[in-house]
Structure 1
């Protein structure tokens, strides 16, 4: 279930992908409707899982982890232990030691709705065919912060305590602000090309998209110089310096014609051309 989030760039891209996905929009909207009556005070839920030892070794206190899909949990630790395959009498896991390839983990998740107002979750026990499981469901892309990790040597079970994180909510605000700021300088289609050439680092796709934009815009399009500029940057990242220099020159000539020489965009183009 874990997904480290180590850089702001990766986080921003992850957020954009989650928010664009049709399943996110449809299913999280349904979950939001169910969650309207969700408990408002702090509570704990549990999730049992069998995971590879390599994944456990990556865990550390303070690490941000996220769900790859909807995440099921239970208000009952006994239910979570049952699902993770512990012996119902002894509480022992099938694992013999910490060196086994497969390890058994009981996640204890502390949720404080006042601290994580953007957290998408719902108690779905009333909608479930098995209400005794006391299921609480978290939405796509929910993130948590690891607070404590310990191993129960007697039962060979890992205990990982986590809290809900408002990281995705903060990233959504950051992403929205980033887009709104970009729209002050570019139209939406050009801004998408900027994203491809910068944040996503998907350079082949960026080149195809930007070249397509060039073919479909008029010669006097106010964003032509920007397309040249970002094409130049992509070619430079790919090590195709002749292509990069050519497009930087085109961007420079257009910006020199339309912008004052004291303008930052013109100076930025000259600086990039100089270091290519």
Structure 2
């Protein structure tokens, strides 16, 4: 056997804690999980044309310049590749397999975008083979994977029993338990490795059709491996971890939950901006995760390559990436481009422009140009009240930002009026609680503290903290910041 199943996937995992209430404020681990779930959803919807294929070939030639073996393989790919042979190319230990998995492992968005052409074909091929599996008489599929993991990685798995898990990429498994066992017990010079056998159960009848896995043994150079390959979006529930004869047996069930989490995130995001495509939502996710460089690179690629995407929204999101990196002039450049593009549309996109006016106001705020900032936020508020009414979430955002700007000018009484109006709207729309409510409560507390009304401020800080604790991970910066406000007023600092 030439291709080692152990090395077919560097074992890096992402976990999702189903107890987390808000997909907008995920822990770092859960956010990484969502990244891979959403990536596969988006990649299938990006345009795949000759330009996309050429970008992939060019990047591969550059990467393997001077490597005669891989250069020949790339030339063969360029001349003979057809979409229906994507699985054959992936199953080889070739440049395709190596670079895709390198990009997935490192979450290299630039490289992954270049491979969108092939990844889309591979997913489509896997889906076709998956449909054959669904039409077979098999109801329960048992597959195995033998690996040796470092102790730290194994401890991480133990701590996440009962949670969802996904591998950061494609997952290669075998129908053969004995074959998998060979890889979990193979000799290795490292003494700190833990032998592990993953036993994965797939209830074929109950799994959502969007969860793709396929028997690819007929496409492999080594059919005796009986390989079953899971697509990027597959996730599993860790049921149990048991030790038997120094071997750790980890039982997992294929789960529908990853797909549901992706749909929930898309639904939540589109409630804010209904017109957004999946491709733009993915770039926004990168931004939400704090990956501003990745978000910027992604939107730059999208701007250069996509004729169908909304260029104004792309430029707006490029402005947001620059804004978050503290590059105010660059942010303003993109915001102005996006705004001008919207205004030149037929008819002008007045409603959408409020997002840009709002963000320009935010840039001016951090530059301490409070008078200018106030003007932009007031313009955004007028538009939002006209199109959404006086009790909409976007209206509350503008009220909140005006309150912050007035507070920065020392006009605390006026600021409180705007913050209370924002709070009233947010409590109406989120009766069971939301982090937006906590933001308003905290801002009101700040104003009262500046007015030397410490007892009232403390009450609002505590209400804010209780909501943050309900919806955010314990180590979230906003919880720590609000707790510091409380400690300051109670003399605990």
TMscore range, shorter length: 0.7 to 0.9
Report the counterpart of residue 167 of structure 1 in structure 2: 257
Deviations along 1:99-155, whole A, 9 cap, x unmatched?
Answer: x52111100001101222232111122222322222111111311110000122x3x
Superposition deviation, residue 198 in structure 1: 6.2
Report the counterpart of residue 89 of structure 1 in structure 2: none
Q: Are residues 1:157 and 2:255 paired?
A: no
Per residue, is there more helix in 1 or in 2?
2
SS of 1:69's equivalent?
coil
Report the counterpart of residue 377 of structure 2 in structure 1: 251
Report the counterpart of residue 145 of structure 1 in structure 2: 237
Shift of the 75–258 alpha-carbon distance from structure 1 to 2, 3 Å rule, reads closer
Deviates more, 1:103-112 or 1:191-200: 191-200
1: distance between equivalents of 2:286 and 2:183?
Answer: 44
2: distance between equivalents of 1:62 and 1:216?
Answer: 45
2: distance between equivalents of 1:79 and 1:194?
Answer: 40
Count of residues paired in the alignment: 260
Unaligned runs of 5+ in 2: 1-10, 25-30, 44-115, 297-319, 324-330, 406-493
Superposition deviation, residue 230 in structure 1: 3.6
SS of 2:14's equivalent?
coil
Superposition deviation, residue 52 in structure 1: 0.9
Contact 1:197 1:230 (8 Å CA) reproduced: no
Deviations along 1:189-225, whole A, 9 cap, x unmatched?
Answer: 9x76993696343457424386314224335651332
Contact 1:65 1:144 (8 Å CA) reproduced: yes
Report the counterpart of residue 122 of structure 1 in structure 2: 214
Contact 2:354 2:384 (8 Å CA) reproduced: no
Deviates more, 1:165-174 or 1:138-147: 165-174
Contact 1:232 1:247 (8 Å CA) reproduced: yes
Superposition deviation, residue 263 in structure 1: 4.7
1: distance between equivalents of 2:248 and 2:284?
Answer: 40
Shift of the 200–94 alpha-carbon distance from structure 1 to 2, 3 Å rule, reads closer
Instruction: State the TM-score, normalizing by the size of structure 2.
Output: 0.46
Per residue, is there more strand in 1 or in 2?
1
Report the counterpart of residue 208 of structure 1 in structure 2: 322
Report the counterpart of residue 66 of structure 2 in structure 1: none
SS of 1:242's equivalent?
coil
Q: Are residues 1:227 and 2:356 paired?
A: yes
1: distance between equivalents of 2:364 and 2:36?
Answer: 24
Report the counterpart of residue 14 of structure 2 in structure 1: 3
Report the counterpart of residue 95 of structure 2 in structure 1: none
SS of 1:105's equivalent?
strand
Q: How do 1:42-121 residues align onto structure 2 when only pairs under 5 Å count?
A: 42-59=140-157, 60-86=160-186, 100-117=191-208, 118-121=210-213
Contact 1:24 1:140 (8 Å CA) reproduced: no
Superposition deviation, residue 67 in structure 1: 1.8
Q: Are residues 1:30 and 2:52 paired?
A: no
Shift of the 228–202 alpha-carbon distance from structure 1 to 2, 3 Å rule, reads farther
Unaligned runs of 5+ in 1: 87-92
Superposition deviation, residue 13 in structure 1: 3.8
Superposition deviation, residue 12 in structure 1: 4.2
